[in-house]
Amino acid sequence: MNRMFAAALSAALYGSIVLLAGIVPAGAATTGDSRPLRVGWVFAMANAPALVADRKRFYAEEGLTVEAKPFGDGPVIQQALAVGELDVAYIGAPPVYQWAARGLDSRILAKVNYGQAAVIANNPAIAKLSDLRGRKVAGVARGSGMDVLLRGVVLKEAAGLDPDRDLSVISMPVGNMNAALDGGTVDAAFTWEPFISQQVLRGGAQGGAHVLFDVNQALPGYPWYVVMAPKKTLAERPDDVVKLLRAHAKAIAWLSDHPAEGDALIAEAFKLEPVKRPDGTEIAPAAVAAEARKRLGWSDRLEDSDLAFIQRLMDTSLALGFIPTPMKAVDIVDSSYLRRAGR
């Protein structure tokens, strides 16, 4: 992980970066719909629409004042939602249903992205998932959404491996995974963009870095980050939620229509550095963002296939013991606000 991106992610984790869409006048009322809509988002490239909606003033175009704050991960955002510090969030689907199982009644309103995750390795002898038997694989915290995806969908279903017996899953921050690969601490890593592209473009140790398993190739268009809100927000500020979803759709359309400008904005906002290859050549930050688009994209639409995938994650979480009782995706998804937004 490059130093500038690490610093930016660390700052986001502690909530020290605050972006304002629209200007909140001094002495603005703090009750009713005159309050800024407080939006938390996981500081990840796949959540670029939250950033774009702010930078391109799409929130303001909808007549909405938004206080948008990046965070290091979904569980931290859910804690902020639980204590009433946020109104809306851009997070992964698993934290939504995991916290719903604990009593935080929220709804998924729209999709943010599809794709983003892959298993990467440096060793050319590791050419397929089954080659991970007996190996060490870097993953994020046990019980997290990415951990559910790794243990249940990637290892158990796609590879036919028992994640607790056939290999070792080593939990670590995603920013440490590429260095762990290069140093031989782990044999593979389950990570996301832009870390995948940074390692593959750089070549990794001895120039052997490669994508072992691209989840988006195996499960085309699988949803990950979503826009969600507690039922309290939906009851008190339904019109503002619709405005936010319209701005969200504009941001996604802009990313699609302006790929070069979008890559440059992403590179700047996420503090990507040039990738230095072993031969001394450099790959520009915007090119890293462009490479990442091979494994992720953006869409606000909630399709039947998206609900089926979320249900699959729920069932996997239950089987792994991460939620206590069976759950249904239809109980936490509400597409009526997306329809009101004209989507």
For every residue of 138-200, which 3-state class applies, written as one string? Answer: EECCCCCHHHHHHHHHHHHHHCCCCCCCCCEEEECCHHHHHHHHHHCCCCEEEEECCHHHHHH
The pLDDT value recorded for residue 79 is 87
What is the pLDDT confidence band of residue 33, given thresholds at 50, 70 and 90? Answer: low
How far lies 332's CA from each of 67, 126, 229, in Å? 25, 39, 10
Q: Over pLDDT 90: what percentage of the chain? A: 78
Asked if residue 246 has pLDDT above 50, the reply is: yes
**What is the residue whose two structure tokens read 């590791």?**
126
Asked if residue 30 has pLDDT above 70, the reply is: no
What is the pLDDT confidence band of residue 318, given thresholds at 50, 70 and 90? Answer: very high
291 C-beta neighbours (distance < 10 Å), count: 19
Q: What's the predicted TM-score (pTM) here?
A: 0.84
Strands 136-139, 168-171: pairing kind: parallel
Write down the CATH superfamily of domain 117-218.
Periplasmic binding protein-like II (3.40.190.10)
Q: Which CATH number fits domain 3-114+222-340: 3.40.50.300, 3.10.20.30, 3.30.1050.10, 3.40.190.10?
A: 3.40.190.10
Cα separation of 82 and 88, whole Å? 11
129 C-beta neighbours (distance < 10 Å), count: 18
**Which pLDDT tens digit goes with each residue over 283-300?**
999 999 999 999 999 999
**Which pLDDT tens digit goes with each residue over 264-284?**
999 999 999 999 888 888 999
Question: Phi/psi zone of residue 259: left (φ > 0), alpha (ψ -120 to 50 degrees), beta?
Answer: alpha
The pLDDT value recorded for residue 104 is 86
For residue 12, the SS3 value is helix
Asked if the domains at 3-114+222-340 and 117-218 fall in one CATH topology, the answer is yes
What is the pLDDT confidence band of residue 205, given thresholds at 50, 70 and 90? Answer: low
Asked if residue 114 has pLDDT above 90, the reply is: yes
Cα separation of 237 and 334, whole Å? 15
What does the pLDDT average to over 175-194? 94
Cα separation of 176 and 208, whole Å? 18
How far lies 86's CA from each of 158, 219, 325, in Å? 37, 32, 27
- Work out the mean pLDDT of the chain and round it to a whole number: 88
Please state which of the ranges 2-11, 294-303, 307-316, 333-342 shows the lowest mean pLDDT: 2-11
277 C-beta neighbours (distance < 10 Å), count: 13
Question: Phi/psi zone of residue 185: left (φ > 0), alpha (ψ -120 to 50 degrees), beta?
Answer: alpha
**What is the residue whose two structure tokens read 């729209």?**
110
Q: Alpha helices, DSSP H only, in the chain?
A: 3-13, 48-55, 58-61, 74-82, 93-100, 145-148, 177-183, 195-202, 215-218, 231-236, 238-257, 259-269, 285-292, 304-319, 336-340
324 C-beta neighbours (distance < 10 Å), count: 10
What does the pLDDT average to over 147-170? 96
Per-domain boundaries in the chain: 3-114+222-340, 117-218
Q: Over pLDDT 70: what percentage of the chain? A: 89
The pLDDT value recorded for residue 295 is 93
Asked if residue 305 has pLDDT above 50, the reply is: yes
